Amino acid sequence: MNDPFSAKLSRRNLFRFGAAGLAGAGAFSAFHYVRGRTSASAPMAASGVEDARFEGLREQLGRYILLTPQKLGGGTHAVDLATQKTLAWISYWNYGDSCPISHHLAAFPADSGDPYKGFEFVNTTQGGDNVLMYGLRTRIRENGMLGQAGQGNHIYRVGYDGKTGQMELLEDIAETTGIGLGVHTVPFPDGTGIACGDGQKDIVAFFSRARGEEKTKVLNAFRADWQPKADDLGSTWMKGGRIVLTRLSPSLDLGRYDLQGTTGNKINFEMAPMAELRVERGQIPGNDPRGLTGLDFCLHDPGHRFSLMGLRMCGGGFIIDRKNWEPVCFIQANEGLQDNFPLKKISNSPDTWVVDLPSVGNPIHESGFHPNGGFLCMMNNLRANNVAVFDTSDPDPRKWKRVTFVKDPEWQGEFPSPFHLNYSIDGTKCFFTVLRPKPMRSDVVVVDTRSWKIIKKFRNIGVDAQTTCTTYDGKYAIVIFSGFQRMESGAFVFRQDTLEQVGYMPNFGGHHDCVIVPSTVEQLKYSRSCTV
């Protein structure tokens, strides 16, 4: 973090946040805290550290619907925040899926503007050996449930109908298109489509948004493969190599792809959070672990044009231009390494691009564009333990540069580790869950998006805290947590504005995600379009 950059950042931000920014510039630390009852006299900096208080909700959260997938619970439920009732739920084994692992989801804005009248969401599921990685004494394999119906990688499109009060499965996008992907699911900020990824296959596909009886179409799909320089598994990524990005074409009749279920998996089960190094240690078997790039997410800049396809194993990701579906460059989050790499196109049939990396410092994972534009955060994990912040204000992504890193003296070694992120509705804060290994409870830190310094910590929230979602009135942030299996789970609520704790809500499941159903297209960029 050098000074010229800090100076540049604050000037830019003053412009971006306007007069309020100017007024708060010098005395910014005082600004939040004056509004917070519990810490009115506390100075800013990292001194705002609070243990979570294990109490029920102390405020009414308003009319919002919280969607939470249950991972090994096999379904998803919608909670009405106004009444604290479960509004509706769905369970995928009822539809013949013998091993549904309800993983990530995202909701489209309600067409009527009122999610209580109805809305649709897209829910990826894992399956296959992913059920075997939690130490369950399960007979699911012997019982044949991991056969074709349990291979997973379904992409379910589900509707909630306010008239009937029911959820219904509308489509399995994996079946329609032949592309089965089980991880992050991220709608475009204009609501016209959705990107899904899978880090066992290293594939990201972009889908159109189907409505009603319509079926989903593939807009484009890419696979990223790694060609290591080193011969040994242990140095496969660290010693550098070549990333080959290929545009995929349908190979089956009716324009379908041959990528359902476990077809195309390079590793037999996913890299759990912070488990990337297990691949180079030979602990995650599969057909092609050395070819792995870990392409498990694709998220979008709020300007509706560029998307970032994140390669966990390669420390960065490709920027794709959704106007022409051409990749633009590769950005790298690792400290000390070049931050932006040009691409070479080496074939037109199929379209193939390469980027050569001299080395990889550490894996990356969760990332997120600031909803007002201008910045992108990307987690550096394991060998490093910090958050890279890119300035993305240039209209040309080839000019995007890292400007600083969010660091914390506690983030030493592999844990505690910054994890999923989301931004406050007013854009002044970024919320990071900070993962600690179970049975320890995870934390949440609040980062000021002008200084990129931590201004508050909530400690000891719950086991495996995952994503945060924010109510669109700017009032509340909800952190979903769960032991991935058989442990405590629930939702921790705090104020986005004053950063006061509001309490806990019960929420059942081994969550990996949560989202509040948006009412408008504009709300998508705060929902799941720009962050994972």
List contacts with Cu ion (CB under 5 A): 296, 512
Residue 12 Cβ, how far from Cu ion at the closest point, in Å? 30
Task: Report in angstroms the alpha-carbon separations of 44 from 91, 263, 332, 454, 502.
Answer: 45, 51, 31, 9, 20
- Pick between residue 457 and residue 511 the one whose CB is nearest to Cu ion: 511
- Pick between residue 202 and residue 448 the one whose CB is nearest to Cu ion: 202
- Pick between residue 32 and residue 512 the one whose CB is nearest to Cu ion: 512
- Rounded CA-CA distance 431/447 in Å is 6
Residue 413 Cβ, how far from Cu ion at the closest point, in Å? 21
- Pick between residue 475 and residue 512 the one whose CB is nearest to Cu ion: 512
Residue 103 Cβ, how far from Cu ion at the closest point, in Å? 6
Residue 507 Cβ, how far from Cu ion at the closest point, in Å? 17
Task: Report in angstroms the alpha-carbon separations of 407 from 3, 270, 451, 453, 467.
Answer: 16, 27, 12, 8, 20
Residues pairing with 445 in the sheet: 432, 457
| Residue 72 near residue 485 (C-beta atoms within 8 A) | yes
Residue 304 Cβ, how far from Cu ion at the closest point, in Å? 23
Residue 341 Cβ, how far from Cu ion at the closest point, in Å? 22
Q: What interhelical angle do 3-26 and 28-35 show, nearest 10?
A: 50
- The b/e string for 167-201 (b: 16+ C-beta within 10 A; e otherwise) is bebbbbbbbbbbbbbbbbbbbbbbbebbbbbbbbb
Residue 69 Cβ, how far from Cu ion at the closest point, in Å? 10
DSSP letters, 352-363, are EEEEEES---S-
Q: Please enumerate in sequence order all residues whose Cβ is within 8 A of that of 387, keeping only pairs 6 or more positions apart, or say none.
A: 377, 378, 379, 380, 405, 406, 407, 418, 421, 432, 447
- Pick between residue 42 and residue 133 the one whose CB is nearest to Cu ion: 133
| Residue 273 near residue 312 (C-beta atoms within 8 A) | no
Residue 240 Cβ, how far from Cu ion at the closest point, in Å? 23
- Pick between residue 126 and residue 246 the one whose CB is nearest to Cu ion: 126
| Residue 51 near residue 444 (C-beta atoms within 8 A) | no
- Pick between residue 367 and residue 404 the one whose CB is nearest to Cu ion: 367
- Pick between residue 103 and residue 247 the one whose CB is nearest to Cu ion: 103
| Residue 173 near residue 184 (C-beta atoms within 8 A) | no
Which residue's beta carbon is nearest to the bound Cu ion?
A: 296
